[in-house]
Structure 1
């Protein structure tokens, strides 16, 4: 038998033994953009249709009032249901309500504008592009409403005054291009109303969501109710009346002073005379008010309807935008949906997630207890749901805590790193570098006698250098008293220094001119007018104490919700956390909350010490102006304390709940000394 025979191949192939012990990585918590945000946006879209319905009903009432006021003589009770009325209602909604809703939705902000004074608020607003978008929207809407009003008037008011049929030019054969003053007055009135409403919304910070009782769950705001309609009506009447009076004064000044001044400029009269020459003639401007009172009344009614429609739409949007949203109950895992929601980058949607998570943490039904137990014992995700929730909540509170310590100011830029050598290790301070020789190491070539003589007589030659050194040596022996009168050459300045000096001189010249004009104007203005102007300027530019507090705590409502969520889930974990996942994070949670509370209480103590009213006997000795100023500051300090109280009350209530729930079991945890002293006060109180 040969030993070199090939080995036999087995009939059954060899393969690895299968095993079910596979290393599978646990999935992470899905992002909010995929898990939570689509559900909330669907609910918000449905609520948007509710705003459309309410705005359409309000616009229908306005169009019906227009038709009746424009001369609906017979069968008035049929006017609301006529096809023409319904068609005008649709157009009114399209040009008056729909643009405002789209504007508010696109520029919605969850945090207020951090500006301490009205001047800073308005100045910062007009530095953003969104403000100009809003101005264009308001102008387009107001002018469209004016065009619709003119169309209704010309179509259904055959017996109206001639100015009611507003055309672009007056009916004159001699001057066919004279502009119709009534149309100009009405159009400018609507433009002024649009600008005034925008300024009002900016000063009220209307584009920021007004989180309040609706978010706290204490009451539900209704967007369409009798009280809201009455409030909108009163606001529209008062604001329209005020803006109409201001517009009358501005229009009279423009006709009496601005237009004649334009005719004094070169080349401008040639452009204006064919269209506006008739405005220079006629009666005195105040007398024209009596002759054209019907036009003023019409403009006021148009402004009233415009402001009323906008105010109703915006008030409805304010109420619905802040109403809580509950979507987690319709999902398979509500806890996972809410934990995913609080990680959203959109602060507006994050508010809704925390508000629903607070209700999830405080519900007392057996189903809610089961859901919380599943959240605490989650092992399907990495990190698990409680770790993700606690980490995101503490990060949110930590960022806002640091912002509060900076009083709303942005974080300072990071310090520049120290320069290092190319090898990566810095040079020691004691090491000295070897000096580098900058001279030539070769023997210089011999020059001609003529070249040597010319170099000697040159300005930088040996002869000039010797003379200069001799002069300096002689000047060193001159006494200091006489050395000050010696002529000295001015140092050569760089072009950048010269340009900077010129800018400073021009700025000083402009500032000096302004101050001289200001002093001359102040000398000619009566005392009462100057005093009123001083009060108005101080009101316009003075920083408000409560606005500084609002800028320091812009996200105070979401901070309060995060505190409530952490404390309520911590209390629920005593019975529902079977693995003790929450207990290891209790010291970290309490330390973060008490640190935030200490900073808030220190700020409130600072406000009370700085702006508290003096005793009544001291107030009696002060002038009335100082008393009014101190009362104003004390009221603003009280409002600032209310701003801080949103987070302060939530932290105090949450710590009290934790202390009452755990009791003596808190002794098992270790806290820093300052945190332990603060926590001991809550333990002694309970």
Structure 2
């Protein structure tokens, strides 16, 4: 029995699946918090350049690291844990290009709150770092003694560290927590390979894989942000403080409160080294805390329904759970029990006494999930909303046309070398109307927080106007060098890999679990089902498998053709620019990216295990004369060849 449930008597076990999962996850949650605190302590001492010294276990260092972690990182983890219990729909389709993803993330109403939370966290971490630096060598306290004036003044190093932490928190929140979309980052990250691979995938394996994939990127973002901050500050430092002194005066009270003393050396080299080390340590610590929580909370649990008084009822409550986090755990448990627990399968087979049996509920829920995934692939990620239902029938083809070829934006005009049109305001005013079809937000939260949304949109519009003006001033040769064909494709072009990851692999874990559950219960029913009710649904299950797999393969071939066409176009443009033919020397970057996403993401796994499930079902029942119909047999042959 899981240690979290060991303290609960079976008679007092909750009847709701979500409550049981919360109890079972408490030890894992505590372990993730402890490991995240240890990671921040190690990163902090590394930034202090004292990892191998006795200060690693000094009471002051331990107290500062624990206090900064509790006030800075722990609230972020608590917010993350709460958000997992509130998401009821999988993330919608991602925008088709990186420019549209950036625009959608900037216009998301939750971005301001997200940035504020991470800014506060990084400032708290910076305060703990500055306190330890002041204790070790001095010079980083908020106030510093000036001998010539015999008084305390603001410390410029401390002010810079806090200011850089604000920038670092905003950059990290936008880059790591909002892209490619806030909804995709906030959704629970369950890994279907923990159920489908022959070798067991442990928490340690998943943590190591997450470290390898996410920490180098976080360290690079932190190093670039910190280096850019110190470079910009060194350029504007004199002019900025001179302007502030002109406004406040040199002898007033406000000068003592807001302006540091310049009689103390700033020491650019030391500040740059210390700030870069802190930025990398803080960013890696926050990223480590997030990935530890995600992995520990999303890894499959030991079966919790077996310890309930009515296991079937608890499992059925779990797969009907509207919250994605608990529903993923329920489908994961159901798939594992259906594949490897004969006793639990017997309970499902023998539950035929009521009007709606356990098998019927499991079958209908799993087939409904497969149908939802199929329709999402058929619509190419365009979710039908209420306003679309009241529009004429011509709106759906028009919406599919706009999703395939989005309207020309300011980024497209810049790529084509065009100037800003006179009617450049209508696209920004019409963006709320097109937001449901291009962005990942399904509801309409901008009505709740109109002020932050308007401010972000106005800032984005101003930035685009500045970019347009700077673009017009550049010579044509410089435009080609700065924004060539491949850069245009990377920023503005259609991304087949994005479509594969957000349409096919949108809800891959639950879909694979549903397919494995149906396959296992159907194949094992040949020898274990005493009533033979499960085998009556062979044709219905195979039809659902074939329908989803056919749509996946159709979209996969379309994406492959689109990627090949993009690569060929880029090769022709580069060949025309160089004035010579480059046939046979194509790099195929878009195709390689699509293959990597297809293999690493849930799209390839979903296709693979749908085919494997269909093959195993047919091999199990091959001795019987199955009447499947000509159409289904033809489609099965196409999927299995």
Same fold (TM over 0.5): yes
Q: Which residue of 2 aligns with 1:453?
A: none
Q: Does 1:147 align with 2:147?
A: no
Match of 1:655 among 614, 619, 623: 614
Q: Which residue of 2 aligns with 1:88?
A: 64
Contact 2:497 2:597 in 1 (8 A): yes
Contact 1:59 1:92 in 2 (8 A): no
How many positions carry a matched residue from both structures?
539
Q: Provide, for residues 638-670 of structure 1, a one-character-per-residue CA deviation record: whole Å limited to 9, x for no partner.
A: 245435322211211111011000004252x34
Q: Does 1:250 align with 2:226?
A: no
Q: Which residue of 1 aligns with 2:294?
A: 318
In structure 2, the CA distance between the partners of 1:178 and 1:97, relative to structure 1 (3 Å rule), is closer
Q: Does 1:527 align with 2:506?
A: no
Distance in structure 2 (CA, Å) of the matches to 1:359 and 1:596: 22
Contact 2:46 2:281 in 1 (8 A): no
Task: Give 3-state SS (helix, strand or coil) of 1:665's partner.
Answer: coil
Q: Which stretch of the first structure deviates more once superposed, 329-338 or 91-100? A: 329-338
In structure 2, the CA distance between the partners of 1:233 and 1:619, relative to structure 1 (3 Å rule), is closer
Q: Does 1:342 align with 2:299?
A: no
Q: Which residue of 1 aligns with 2:531?
A: 579
Distance in structure 2 (CA, Å) of the matches to 1:577 and 1:198: 53
Task: Give 3-state SS (helix, strand or coil) of 2:296's partner.
Answer: helix
Structure in which a larger fraction of residues adopt helix? 2
Give the drift of 1:87: 2.3
In structure 2, the CA distance between the partners of 1:46 and 1:134, relative to structure 1 (3 Å rule), is farther
Distance in structure 2 (CA, Å) of the matches to 1:59 and 1:232: 16
Q: Provide, for residues 494-528 of structure 1, a one-character-per-residue CA deviation record: whole Å limited to 9, x for no partner.
A: xxxxxxxxx969869x99xx999947753445834
Q: Does 1:61 align with 2:42?
A: yes
Task: Give 3-state SS (helix, strand or coil) of 2:537's partner.
Answer: helix
Give the drift of 1:538: 4.8
Give the drift of 1:679: 2.9
Distance in structure 2 (CA, Å) of the matches to 1:40 and 1:392: 20
Contact 1:406 1:552 in 2 (8 A): no
Give the drift of 1:388: 0.6
Distance in structure 1 (CA, Å) of the matches to 2:336 and 2:155: 62
Give the drift of 1:45: 2.3
Q: Which residue of 1 aligns with 2:93?
A: 114
Give the drift of 1:194: 0.9
Q: Provide, for residues 391-418 of structure 1, a one-character-per-residue CA deviation record: whole Å limited to 9, x for no partner.
A: 1111111112111111101116335799
Match of 1:566 among 478, 502, 518: 518
Q: Which residue of 1 aligns with 2:349?
A: 376
Contact 1:377 1:577 in 2 (8 A): yes
Contact 1:55 1:313 in 2 (8 A): yes
Q: Provide, for residues 302-348 of structure 1, a one-character-per-residue CA deviation record: whole Å limited to 9, x for no partner.
A: 22331232122122123213311231232234343323211111122
Give the drift of 1:186: 1.3
Contact 1:63 1:88 in 2 (8 A): no
Distance in structure 1 (CA, Å) of the matches to 2:497 and 2:165: 34
Distance in structure 1 (CA, Å) of the matches to 2:597 and 2:217: 26
Q: Which residue of 2 aligns with 1:397?
A: 370
Distance in structure 2 (CA, Å) of the matches to 1:238 and 1:504: 40
Match of 2:32 among 28, 51, 67: 51
Distance in structure 1 (CA, Å) of the matches to 2:42 and 2:142: 24
Distance in structure 1 (CA, Å) of the matches to 2:536 and 2:571: 55
In structure 2, the CA distance between the partners of 1:572 and 1:634, relative to structure 1 (3 Å rule), is same
Q: Does 1:644 align with 2:603?
A: yes
Match of 2:194 among 195, 214, 229: 214
Distance in structure 1 (CA, Å) of the matches to 2:158 and 2:322: 49
Give the drift of 1:272: 7.5
In structure 2, the CA distance between the partners of 1:257 and 1:396, relative to structure 1 (3 Å rule), is farther
Q: Which residue of 2 aligns with 1:607?
A: 559
In structure 2, the CA distance between the partners of 1:99 and 1:252, relative to structure 1 (3 Å rule), is same
Give the drift of 1:62: 4.5
Distance in structure 2 (CA, Å) of the matches to 1:106 and 1:62: 26
Contact 2:44 2:282 in 1 (8 A): no
Q: Pairwise mapping of residues 263-662 of structure 1 onto structure 2 (< 5 A)?
A: 270-271=247-248, 291-326=267-302, 327-363=304-340, 368-411=341-384, 413-415=388-390, 518=468, 521-525=471-475, 527-528=477-478, 531-533=481-483, 538-553=489-504, 554-612=506-564, 623=575, 631-639=588-596, 641-642=598-599, 643-662=602-621
Task: Give 3-state SS (helix, strand or coil) of 1:219's partner.
Answer: coil
Q: Does 1:677 align with 2:634?
A: yes
In structure 2, the CA distance between the partners of 1:169 and 1:404, relative to structure 1 (3 Å rule), is farther
Q: Which stretch of the first structure deviates more once superposed, 59-68 or 139-148? A: 59-68
Q: Provide, for residues 77-120 of structure 1, a one-character-per-residue CA deviation record: whole Å limited to 9, x for no partner.
A: 4x444433432232132124312311321233684563233333
In structure 2, the CA distance between the partners of 1:139 and 1:272, relative to structure 1 (3 Å rule), is farther
Q: Which stretch of the first structure deviates more once superposed, 270-279 or 549-558? A: 270-279
Task: Give 3-state SS (helix, strand or coil) of 1:107's partner.
Answer: helix
Q: Which residue of 2 aligns with 1:480?
A: none
- Across the aligned residues of Structure 1 and Structure 2, the Cα RMSD in angstroms comes to 4.3
Give the drift of 1:385: 0.5
In structure 2, the CA distance between the partners of 1:128 and 1:168, relative to structure 1 (3 Å rule), is farther
In structure 2, the CA distance between the partners of 1:122 and 1:34, relative to structure 1 (3 Å rule), is farther
In structure 2, the CA distance between the partners of 1:245 and 1:269, relative to structure 1 (3 Å rule), is same
Consecutive unaligned residues in structure 2, runs of 5 or more? 1-12, 394-421, 430-460
In structure 2, the CA distance between the partners of 1:380 and 1:214, relative to structure 1 (3 Å rule), is same
Q: Provide, for residues 115-159 of structure 1, a one-character-per-residue CA deviation record: whole Å limited to 9, x for no partner.
A: 2333333433344444333322211111112222232333443xx
Q: Provide, for residues 561-615 of structure 1, a one-character-per-residue CA deviation record: whole Å limited to 9, x for no partner.
A: 1111111111111122222211332221111111112111222222333333899
TM-score (normalizing by structure 2): 0.72
In structure 2, the CA distance between the partners of 1:279 and 1:119, relative to structure 1 (3 Å rule), is farther
Give the drift of 1:33: 9.0
In structure 2, the CA distance between the partners of 1:48 and 1:282, relative to structure 1 (3 Å rule), is closer
Q: Which residue of 2 aligns with 1:429?
A: none
Distance in structure 2 (CA, Å) of the matches to 1:538 and 1:171: 59
Consecutive unaligned residues in structure 1, runs of 5 or more? 1-31, 419-502
Give the drift of 1:622: 6.5
Task: Give 3-state SS (helix, strand or coil) of 1:612's partner.
Answer: helix
Q: Which residue of 2 aligns with 1:6?
A: none
Q: Which residue of 1 aligns with 2:16?
A: 35
Distance in structure 2 (CA, Å) of the matches to 1:50 and 1:180: 39
